[in-house]
Structure 1
Amino acid sequence: MQKVLQRTAMAKRQATRRALLRTQKEEADTARTKTMEHIQSLKEQSRVVKEARKNRREDWELGPLAPRRDVGENKQYYGTVDHKTLRGAEIPKKKRMELWTIVEGDRVVLLTGRDKGKIGEVDNVNKETEEVTVTGLNRVEIAIPEWMRGKDSNPSPTRSVGRPIPIGLVRLVYALPDPKTSIPRDVIVENIEPRNVFRDRDTKEPIFDRVIPGLEVSIPWPVKVKPDDVDHPSDTLRITVEEQTWTPTLLRPPMPPSVIDELRNKYSAFRDRHDEEYIAKKMAEDEEAKAAKQMAKMMRTPLKELHAKRREEFRKGSAEGARPKKITQDMLAKIGEVIVAKRMGGLPGGASTAGAEAAVENTPKLAEKSGAEVEVPETSEMPKTPEPQEALPPSKHGV
């Protein structure tokens, strides 16, 4: 028992180790793929920047003779940015920020770029790349492919979107009262400390308070405005939804058979109901198999017919339980003669009587091994060996 437990524990450890190695390999492959995508994005950005610098220097050197670049195939896409370069590199889960002190709805200031010092509201937060999109800041023109146009009311080949900004390039802006005038004014918060951290029981998301260390001022979270429900002509009325239009009975199932077939797996091994087309198909296959067997029977030779008949008889005998053969007295005598002949060194001629006795003695054992039934009559007819008589003494008369 102890060996079985040891083997079970060893198998569990091996399975756990294999699962860990598989997970690590998948994570490494994913990280490698993301890294290659980020490298390709950086290469594309570098290529665009180099090309722009080259064109600017050429325009400065040629002056009035500089070529127009907003013509030809790139006329409608001149000055745009490829949308593939907007998304940053995805950060591995182990290295991501767990507690986000900046969320959607907060007011932030941009620390770099052409919009440096401008304040905007966070529109979107991407925790996978640790980037934020700020409304009205860091806007760029991107090219819209032809297959994406016409999805909305804007048929323009270009569109202005907000470029994602790394979370480290923005700072939270909060209105604090002035110590002298007590009038609230915007202050850039450099450091925010999370306190009273706990996780929600249902969503498992961290919940905490944002506090400015030193001042011990708690920054409230932005209020999420719930959109108003607007009724549309295509909406179903509540009274129609709550209306009971079907009453179940014991004479029919609670739902139509077609619905049951839709809910069940069509290819399940436990399926007990099939479509009529499937049943008809299987019955046709059975009929074809039966016809093939019948055709094979018609093509039998006389020898095959004989073999089939013998197999059928043997099958019926096996099914009915064939009784073992009986051993008669003549068979016992013959068996005994052979046994005695072997014992006497090959003299079967004068061993008939002794052979019968030996057969009576040894044959039940042989019959028990072979499963045969010994037929022994009530009155044995086997000859018995006469007992030897002592010699009489000679008489007085010499007879």
Structure 2
Amino acid sequence: MPYQLLTTSWQRAAGAMFRKPLIDTVLAFVYPHSVPRLFHTFFCRPLRIIALSDHGEILFNQVIPPHRFVRLPATRLILETDPNRVLLPEEAQTLARSLMTQRFPSLSTGAVEAEVNLHKLLFALVADALGDIRRLKERCHLRRGGELTLEVLQTAFTPEERGQTINSAAFLLDFSDGWRLPNEAYTLARRVLSLERKTGFMAELVAASIAGSPWKAELPRICLRCQGASGRWRPVLTPPTHLPREVCWRYERPENHIYLCRKCAYKIGWMADETIRLAFARGVWGARFEALRRWHIAASWHLLPARWDKAQYPLWPAEYGGASWETGSGALSAADPRPPDGIACKAAEVARMKKCLGNPRPRRLPTTSLQEAVC
């Protein structure tokens, strides 16, 4: 039986979320210890979840609808498959024997305690989703008789916020039978999904909700040239005018920005010379900027891959980057904004950037009369 092995904490956390139908794919979750576990199917399609013992005995085998919690018995091996997939006892024993005899150096521990109160978890999720719908009502001035339109959504929310609103609206509608919420919340949720579905950018907006979070206040703000703190993040690539705003959120990623003060930006000719901007981006962000630039060129000429799975690779297609964050991966695990530490950069590009930097004078505080007297 072909399977996809999930051993790291990140792989197991993502699981089947935002995936296309599994069909012939079997996701295998392997854990180091046998303890009761709590799984969920939020943002998943209907799944068949199977728990196996170390010897292949089927301990749990049910089809779970989306947006549900499910308690599993003590086990080390859990499978997620298509609902129509039937696992024979012989297949279960063979699979368990194969997995239990392997050694996984990346196998990490972790489980949810069996005493976790599901009602509290679920209530918190519903409260967050309802808060997003309430914020939608306030920002769009719907309390004053305003009408919710696509233009209003585009003006009031960023793509990242629109993607989060889509997730919250879908979540509330999935639980409409089990929770007594204001009818207006359900009406707004249906209206939002209807409007966003017509744009054809649902996948883009959900990707933005994953990888488009604000970051400029979190990364170190030090001028790359003079080491001063008074500057701003300056973009390298500019989005073409014909690209829709739902796609342009990637230009706001840190891989497309360099922190420079106004004086240094003027001296190196940042705005006047594109080669300077590219040299800085390649010298700082290396493989990650090159992957972003490949996406930029393909998007500008409408040459993006037709089978791009934005749920698993929200930043850019898998073939544009490497296998890790340092080598330019656009996968879910590389979506969080980070400082440019350890990125794979070519020596020639770093040398080119240093040449563009020149020999700036480091900023120093003005000498006071007391300092002159001491010296």
TM-score under structure 2 length normalisation: 0.18
User: Which is higher, the Rg of structure 1 or of structure 2?
Assistant: 1
Q: Relative contact order (C-alpha < 8 Å, sep 6+): which is higher?
A: 2
